[in-house]
Amino acid sequence: MTKTYLLLFFLLITSAVFTLYKLDHRSFFTDELVYFYSGEAIFKLGDFSLNTEVPPLGKYMAGVTQMLGGRSVFLLRTPFALTLLLSGLVTFFIIKSFLGSWWALFGSAVLLWSPFIFTETRMLMLEGPLLLLWLLFHLNFLLYIKHENRRHIVLAGVFFGLALATKIPSILLAPFSLLAIFVFKYIPARKIANRDLMDILSAGLALFASYFIVFLPQLIVTGAQGYLSHVKSIYDDYFVLRDQKGKIHFINDIAFIKSPVWYYFHFIIERYNPLLLVGAAIAPFSAFVQKSLFSYYWLLFLLISFSFNQVLGVKQVRYIAYFELPLVFLVVVLVYEIHKRFERTGKLLAVSLVLTLFLSRVAFAITETPTGYNALYKHMAEKTANFTNGERIYVFGSIRSSRWYFFGLQDNLFVSRKEQLDWEILDIEINTFRYLIFDKFEIMKEPETPFYAYARNNANNYDISYLNEFEIYTLKEAGARL
């Protein structure tokens, strides 16, 4: 046992290095900025009106990190990224309770180094804390089904409430919980005992209490109206406007107006190594081989989680982490069952899978470079002697992201706009910009923008270069100075 915990400690330390190394390289994403400013507004102004469709727990967390980390992307992301390590620890105890310590160690490694769970928790986003709360819910709910201890279902209710106060997709835990009780409690006993009903009621009260405790600061400041505004925003976001918001996807530089049904499969095939891909494809069927509470439980959660995310009007890569979570446990079941029947093959598979995931994390750490507007900022700092030579820059792209990185530069040195009306303001001074920079994804959304048309029509006057998704026009006459 001591050896197992030493290996677990080593696994967590190694994962911490992978998680924190180059944590600030990935460009600060638009949604991260939304949470940053929402948290800042709450803690500095007592204003809960920003991003009202999102529950407050993640915004509280963002606000605290903003107070501690200022504008350091590394410090802002660190608390969210560290939730991955806690998730690995909880995963260990879940699997240990059913399959033993060595398989728990194996499962923790698979979760900590899984492609989507790893990448999507390294941001100031809600996926990290959400997955941790889900795992804490599952730990207690599984132990309740196994041991029928009321304390466990009450704790499951607490973590359900906290998860629901973090992100709305946690609502899928409701149908899952009811189905799990029906499958694992009612069907074997052919009835729901009075004690079971009291357990469910206790869990419901715990859920209600933990959920509204999180909302208490908002209720004190805004009253019931603030909470009703939150509920209305959820309804609008998930039912009225869900198919209209953020619906354009770019896959291999091809724009899709609506999320294709194969969206998730495309990225899974792209990012999974062959061994993990085959294992993930077979793993759900291993539940019918093991025929245990543990395997059927995770199969049920996989089906509900995948179905929930598949029917959403707008799909996102980060949502894959929601059903990658149960896949991790089913992969453990698969290798466990192979090991039970073919010991040497099972050991080889377990070692091979962990080794390939480890090497993928090493390769990622070595090759990861700044992306998006972070890369653009560093590139332009080199071009302009750290913005001291007076050369003006115009960016057509994400206003939030570009202004985050170019923060502090005077307006007459840097401009970031993409509204069509800006042409009326800038057409007179367009030649005073040494650099015209266009985000290709924004251009694909608005191909008729006059700024881009101007640059293309006057291409002979510019040197054209490319940096990731950016097309950079540099005026040949180095006279565009203040």
61-73 pLDDT, tens digit each = 999 998 888 889 9
For 442, the token pair is 């924004």
Helix (H, G, I), strand (E, B) or coil at 470: strand
Cβ atoms of 373 and 28 within 8 Å: the answer is yes
Q: Note the pLDDT of residue 242.
A: 56
pLDDT tier, 22 (very low <50, low <70, confident <90, very high otherwise): very high
Q: pLDDT per residue over 206-244, tens digit each?
A: 999 999 999 999 999 988 888 888 888 877 776 655 555
Residue 427: the pLDDT is 66
Residues 189 and 184: their CA atoms lie apart, in Å, by 9
Residue 421 reports pLDDT greater than 70 = no
How far apart CA 83 and CA 67 sit, in angstroms, is 19
Mean pLDDT of the chain: 90
pLDDT at 26 over 70: yes
User: What residues have CB less than 8 Å from 323, skipping those under 6 apart?
Assistant: 302, 305, 306, 309
d(CA 422, CA 385): 28
Domain ranges within the chain, ordered by starting residue: 2-367, 372-475
How far apart are alpha carbons 245 and 410 in whole angstroms?
32
Confidence at residue 245, expressed as pLDDT on a 0 to 100 scale: 52
More confident call, 143 vs 238? 143
Q: Is the per-residue pLDDT at 353 higher than 70?
A: yes
Q: Using CA atoms, how far apart are residues 78 and 61, in angstroms rounded to an integer?
A: 11
Give the span between the Cα atoms of 127 and 81, in whole angstroms: 10
Q: What is d(CA 126, CA 120) in angstroms, rounded to the nearest whole number?
A: 9
What is the structure's pLDDT at 481?
Answer: 44
Using an 8 Å Cβ cutoff, are 294 and 100 in contact? no
Write the DSSP symbol of residue 126: S
Longest dimension (CA), the chain: 84
Q: Is 255 exposed, middle or buried (0-12, 13-18, 19+ CB in 10 A)?
A: exposed
> Does residue 252 contact residue 260 with C-beta atoms inside 8 Å?
no
Q: Rounded to an integer, what distance in angstroms lies between the CA atom of residue 352 and that of residue 276?
A: 10
- How does DSSP classify residue 459? G
173 Cβ partners below 8 Å, 6+ apart? 134, 137, 160, 163, 164
Average of per-residue pLDDT across 412-425: 65
What residue has token string 């899709």?
Answer: 256
In angstroms, rounded to a whole number, what is the distance separating the alpha carbons of residues 227 and 52?
Answer: 9
- Tell me what percent of the residues of the chain surpass a pLDDT of 90: 69
- Tell me the C-alpha distance between 57 and 126, whole Å: 9
Which has more confidence, 29 or 303? 303
pLDDT beyond 80 at 36: yes
Each residue of 353-390: b (16+ CB within 10 Å) or e? Answer: bbeebbebbeebeeeeebebbbbbbebbeebbeebeee
Question: Which pLDDT score, from 0 to 100, does residue 461 have?
Answer: 92
* Calpha distance 313→198 (Å, rounded): 38
Mean pLDDT of 409-419: 71
pLDDT tens sequence across 167-202 = 999 999 999 999 999 999 888 877 778 888 999 999
Per-residue 3-state assignment (H helix, E strand, C coil) for 148-214: CCHHHHHHHHHHHHHHHCCCHHHHHHHHHHHHHHHHHHHHHHCCCCHHHHHHHHHHHHHHHHHHHHH
pLDDT score of 247: 60
Which amino acid would we find at residue 163? A
Block residue for tokens 């950016």: 470
Q: How long is the chain?
A: 482
Please report the pLDDT score of residue 432 as a whole number: 82
The counts of H helices and E strands in the chain are: 22, 7
pLDDT band at 51 (very low <50, low <70, confident <90, very high): confident
HSE of 138 in the Cβ direction (CA atoms, 13 Å)?
29
**Each residue's pLDDT tens digit, 450-469:** 888 889 999 999 999 999 99
Residues 79-114: tens digit of each pLDDT: 999 999 999 999 999 999 999 999 999 999 999 999
Distance, CA of 304 to CA of 172 (rounded, Å) = 7
**Rounded to an integer, what distance in angstroms lies between the CA atom of residue 436 and that of residue 459?**
11
Residue 60 confidence (pLDDT) above 70: yes
pLDDT at 134: 99
- Look up tokens 């009612």; give the residue: 186
Q: In this model, does residue 482 exceed pLDDT 50?
A: no
pLDDT of 64: 92
pLDDT of residue 127: 96
